[in-house]
Each structure stands twice: as C-alpha cells, then as structure tokens.
Structure 1
Amino acid sequence: MDTTHGTLDEALQRLHASGPEFQGFLANHGPMAVEAMVRNGQARTVHRWLDSYENKLEDAPRARARITDDNWREALGDPGRVADWTAYFTQLIGERPWREVLAAWWPRLLPGIAGAATHTVIRLGHAVRGILDEEGERGEEEGPRVAELAQALGYWAARHLALPLPVHPVGQATPAEALAAIPRVARQRVSALEGYEQLPGTPGWLSATEALHVPADPEAAREGLTALVRAATLNYADYGHGNAVMLVHAATAPNAVLRTLPALPRELWASSFAAAWAATSAVTAVFAAGMPRRPAPNASSVTPEEVFERAVAHGDEHAIKFADTALDVASSGDGETRTRALSAALHAVQLIEGDG
C-alpha cells in the first residue's frame, strides 16, 4: 500500500529523469507542485497530475565538464552547466551532511535569487521542506528528497542572476508599507529579464525598496519575512491581473526562503530576509498591475482544504504553488487574514488559464 511518504519519493524519482527547464527557459515546476500536493493532503492526485505534466518536459541535459571546489566560480550563472552543477552538489551531499552543504552555499547563491524568475529558490524551498518532513518521519539523509536538494542547488547555481543594481534596505517601513510603495516598470508584459533591466531607470524603485526595515535579530528577521509573505499574498488579490502567472512569485519566492530558515544558521536569517524582499520588490515592479481591478472571490465560506482542492483540480502548477503559500498565510493569521489569503488563492485559480 502506497503511503504519502512513498508518493513524494516516487514522484521525485520520476521527475529526476527530466531537466530543470523545457522549451529553452520554462521552469520544470513538477518537484515543487508534487511536494505541495503531498503536503496539503492531495497525494492521491500526484501521479495522475504527473502523467499529464510530464508530457511537456524534456530529458535531463548531459554533463559538459566537472565542477570542483577550485573552478566553480567560472561556472556560476551558466545555464549550460546545470548538469555539471547537479553532479557537483550530488557529490558534496554524498560526502557531507546536507545542512552543512546548504549553509556553505546559501550565502553564495543568495545574491542570485532573481535567476529564472526566482524559480530556483522556490524549488529549493520545497526541497528543504520535503527533507525536514522526512527527518521527522524517518530521520534519513539520503534518497529522492536529498537528491532533489542537489537538483535544486544545481539549478540555482546554473541560473544564478543578480539584480542589475544592489539593494541595501536601511529604512523603517514594514513589509506591507514598503510593498505598497513599489512603482511599476514602464514596459510591462515582458520577460523577467527584460523587466529587471528596467529597474535602474524606474523612478523611485530603489528608494522604495531600500525603505524596508530589516532587523538584525534573527527572530525579528523571521517575523519580518513572515510578514512579507503575508503582504505579497494579499497583494496578489488586488494586482494579480497584471500578470497572473508571474506575480505569484512575489509571494512564493519569499515563502521558499522562509521555509529554508530552519535549516540555516541563524546568522543568515537577516540577509535572507533582505534578499527575499529585493526579489519580491523586483517581481512586483515588473508584473503587478498598476491599479487594482475586480475584487477577489469571497472565501469566507470555504475551508483551506477546499481551496487547495480547487487549485489542484484547476491543474496549473502556479495555481497550486500559490495556493500552497496562501494556506501557510491563512494558518498563521487572524480570521480576516485567513479569509483574504484564501480569497487571493481563489483569485489565482480564476486568473490563471488552466491546462484544460
């Protein structure tokens, strides 16, 4: 008899035969979506969902040349070296505890959080959560979930991309206040990279981004990051129609960082909050609508489980990932926050075009 644990492991094994991208640049969301589905009680739908999703994926790319402790810098940010990076991290995690590898590489990768429209850190966040759940179940440090961590780290290293200008938050604004002040780029409906390139010339973007307060205390930084995920999730309800698919990453990227914090040294938490905020600010500036439009659906009479079931029934991987984050927000807030977060998730289901 299959178990929830076994379903995720089986799904990851299926997916590891595929590359991290397809059609040149589209991210393989399979590992992220199936982890979210298992986590939220939809394990029975995983393999059926994968049967459809796998049709669009491509085989894993071939390795080119070996990456080592001495030459890794020259390969950082080279998407053509993703197989080399995956092999490198697979070797590292085979030799050292995965937390040790993550702690060593997190500060190196964090400045490139914008790469692949933040899909890299999102995949990593799902991988870490899956391992932490597994540790609670069996205490193992090997198998498909740890292999997925190597895949996620390799993808991030290969797609490592810094924003076109450095961001140093030094203000006193709360995440909600700072997010509300983010201006939009002039040319929208563009790729993430084309949007990022507009940020230096967008009046007020840097000052608004640097207005955020990032506390040095680790617990306060974690609370700030939690508030950022909440603000970005609720913000989607008003501005998701700008780009329904891409704006979900303004919430799911910082939530991936938040999920990773328990596996990281506490001294890295404040810098993680700052980097997550820079990514959220950039994604918001590029993909959020300039003005709010129709209200999100009323979720006062639906349960979190029903909301997630609707996202899975919809089928789109972004709707699933965003609902997963919205459920996190709903579970940690008051009644109003819960309703608004679930409403935002239902709004995403409406706005994002389904596969069928």
Structure 2
Amino acid sequence: MDGTGVLDEALERLHRTGPERLGRLSNHAPMAVEALAAHGLAGDVHRWLDRYAPKLEEFPSGTAPVAAADWREALGDPRRLADWIAFFGREVAERPWRDVLGQWWPRLLPGMYGGSTHPVIRVGHAVRTLLAGEETRPRLGELAQGMGYWAARHRPVTGLGVLRAGADSAGAALDAVPPLAERTGGFADRLARVTAVPAWADGAGDPQSARQRLAELVRAATHRYATHGHGEETMLVHAATAPNAVLRTLPALPESLWLPSLRAAWVASAAVTAMYAPAAPVAWSPPGRIAPGEILALALAHGDEHVIKFADTALDVGDERALAAALRCIELSEPLP
C-alpha cells in the first residue's frame, strides 16, 4: 500500500466532491486512485485525477443529522447523502472502524444493490487500504464516505426466487442464470425484473467454505468477462468487482457475517449477469507474454475508471484468463479523454 502520502492527498481532494454526479452516476475516483496506489502507481494518481476532474461535482448539502435512534427512517433516502456521510464520519472518529463496520455491515448488506453496487465496491477499496496500512484520517474518512453512500442508496432485492438447477461451480452457476427478456431502462429498472437466481451460494455450510466460494465467484465472473464482456462492457464489470469488494472486506468482519455476505454477493453477480450478458459468448485469446504488472499500466493509459477497477480485480485473480479479461475490457471500453 502507498506510503508516500499521495493516496491520502487524493482522498482529501476527493472528499470535497460528492459521491455522485448528474443525480445518479457514481464518483469512481476514490476507488480508482486506491487501486492505482495499491499497485505502486501513486505517482500517477494526481495526473489521472486531473483527467477525471470534469466528472466531479460539489459535495451535496445536508438536510438534518442522522440519529442513532431513527436511522431506519433515513435508510435508502438519497436526499440524505451528506447526512449519512456525516453520521459515519462521527462514528469512525469516535469508535474503532472495525466495530463500526461490524455493526453496520448486516444492516447495509441487504441493500448492496443500490447505486449499481458502487457503494459496496467503494467500501471494499476503503477496507483494503485500512487493512494494509495506517489508519489515517483520510482513509477513515473514505470508509465513512463509502458507508454513507451505501446507506443513502440502500436498495434491497425482495421476492427473489431460487432456481434449483444444479451447478457444481460458480462458472456453471453463472451460465445457468436466466437472461432478462426485457432489457430496457437502467440498472434499477432491470433489477426489478430479476425474479430468480440459481441456488449456488446455498452450498456453503460454514464461514471458510463461504470465503472459498466467494473467491471462486470472483474468479469465475472475471473469467467470464473475457467471453461475455461485449454484452455491456461497463456494467458487466460489476459482476466481478462487487463480489470482490465483499471478499476484500471479509477479514475485517466477524466470521458470522461471511455466509450472508456470500449470498448477497452472489445475488449481485447473478443479477448483473441476468441484466446484461449477451446472447452468445465469443472465444477468448491468451494474453501472450504480457506481465501482470503491465496490465494496470495499460488500464491507466486508457484511463476509464471501470477499466482500472476491473484490472485491479483481474490482478487479484492473477491467472492467464483473468489478464485476458482485463485486456478485453480495455479493448471494449471508451477511453477517458
């Protein structure tokens, strides 16, 4: 993790901006700069931020403080973004961050699908930083920003059925996800049409098997992008990055939360697959002699925030097909100006 202070500088710079833009699109910069710093590219962080800066908006105004006694009333209200971020800012300033996370994770987990899963992804990046380095004020503030964003965009999935089709692997389970027939509208519109997913996550019987299955899911979803990413080059990234955010957070959580975390992450990955996967796959090509360390440099040169975050996840997986998937994401995506 970055020891130069650049990541903290970047986070302080970004905390003056809002977690969203245009009323619905996420500010990806905190996640992208954390990924760059985590892979030794802190020296490029501010230059990349200068490219991304036109997408940033001012931090929103608050309405009224969120109180511990009435938090349920404010949950899922995007008008309370600033109020929720301020609430978690106070929480992490007064209590150990792991205690705050452990208390709120089960409250937030059912609604991880709000904001197109970006809030939980932002939390996953923040937790990785805190686990790997110093608990500085900007890094604790980033956790508060992510959790506040999650609380404001909290969106549960209700009435979801379970398909009992057998699947002996995460890849087979993703292949068994029934695609949506009607694909108009954005993420929230499509999510409302997802009625059932395969029961693959129910096969985990204890926390350690849940962690193993979650890692398997991240690997399978990353691999699948190499053959299916053309269905929607941006949104299908989240089938891998959302469960990876959960996987990164597990070490900071009580083991009693690992099983429900796997189930929530599986629903997210399966739902994204149902909403955006193409009718047919294409063949994938091995990445050749490219070294893993070159992948994020290529993503940085491309500049797109989703490309950077997906390359970061592909490097976590680390095998040949994952690297091919990262290159495919670069190929399919529109570069950042």
Coarse TM-score class (shorter-chain normalised): over 0.9
Alpha-carbon separation, structure 1, partners of 2:260 and 2:102: 13
- 1:154 counterpart = 2:148: yes
1:132 deviation in Å?
A: 0.9
1:169-196, Cα deviation, whole Å (9 max, x unpaired): 8886331221110111112363111111
Aligned to 1:284: 273
1:94-134, Cα deviation, whole Å (9 max, x unpaired): 11110000000000000001111100100000000011111
Please tell me whether the aligned partners of residues 51 and 336 of structure 2 are also in contact (alpha carbons under 8 angstroms): no
State the AA in 1 paired with 2:142: E
- The correspondence for 2:295, drawn from 300, 307, 320, is 307
Aligned to 1:21: 20
1:272-296, Cα deviation, whole Å (9 max, x unpaired): 0010000000011001112113x34
Please tell me whether the aligned partners of residues 170 and 214 of structure 1 are also in contact (alpha carbons under 8 angstroms): no
1:210 deviation in Å?
A: 2.2
1:165 deviation in Å?
A: 2.5
Task: Summarize the Cα distance change of 1:4–1:51 in structure 2 as closer, same or farther, 3 Å threshold.
Answer: farther
Q: How does 1:118-157 map to 2 (within 5 A)?
A: 118-135=117-134, 140=135, 142-157=136-151
Q: How does 1:190-201 map to 2 (within 5 A)?
A: 190-200=185-195
Secondary structure of the corresponding residue to residue 199 of structure 1: coil
TM-score (norm 2): 0.96
- 1:176 counterpart = 2:171: yes
Alpha-carbon separation, structure 2, partners of 1:23 and 1:210: 36
Please tell me whether the aligned partners of residues 189 and 243 of structure 1 are also in contact (alpha carbons under 8 angstroms): no
1:187-226, Cα deviation, whole Å (9 max, x unpaired): 23631111112113xxxxx2x4224444131111100000
Alpha-carbon separation, structure 2, partners of 1:78 and 1:96: 25
Alpha-carbon separation, structure 2, partners of 1:38 and 1:236: 24
Please tell me whether the aligned partners of residues 111 and 157 of structure 2 are also in contact (alpha carbons under 8 angstroms): yes
- Structure 1, unaligned stretches of length 5 or more? 201-205, 331-337
- 1:241 counterpart = 2:244: no
Secondary structure of the corresponding residue to residue 355 of structure 1: coil
Aligned to 1:185: 180
Please tell me whether the aligned partners of residues 120 and 156 of structure 1 are also in contact (alpha carbons under 8 angstroms): yes
Secondary structure of the corresponding residue to residue 64 of structure 2: coil
Aligned to 1:334: none
Task: Summarize the Cα distance change of 1:210–1:278 in structure 2 as closer, same or farther, 3 Å threshold.
Answer: same
Alpha-carbon separation, structure 1, partners of 2:161 and 2:329: 29
Task: Summarize the Cα distance change of 1:6–1:168 in structure 2 as closer, same or farther, 3 Å threshold.
Answer: farther
State the AA in 1 paired with 2:137: G
Q: Percent identity?
A: 52
Alpha-carbon separation, structure 2, partners of 1:179 and 1:131: 32
Runs of 4+ residues deviating >2 angstroms = 164-174, 187-190, 208-214, 295-298
Alpha-carbon separation, structure 1, partners of 2:236 and 2:71: 32
- RMSD, aligned CA: 1.6
Task: Summarize the Cα distance change of 1:45–1:296 in structure 2 as closer, same or farther, 3 Å threshold.
Answer: farther
Alpha-carbon separation, structure 2, partners of 1:321 and 1:18: 20
1:42 deviation in Å?
A: 1.3
State the AA in 2 paired with 1:162: P
Please tell me whether the aligned partners of residues 284 and 324 of structure 2 are also in contact (alpha carbons under 8 angstroms): yes
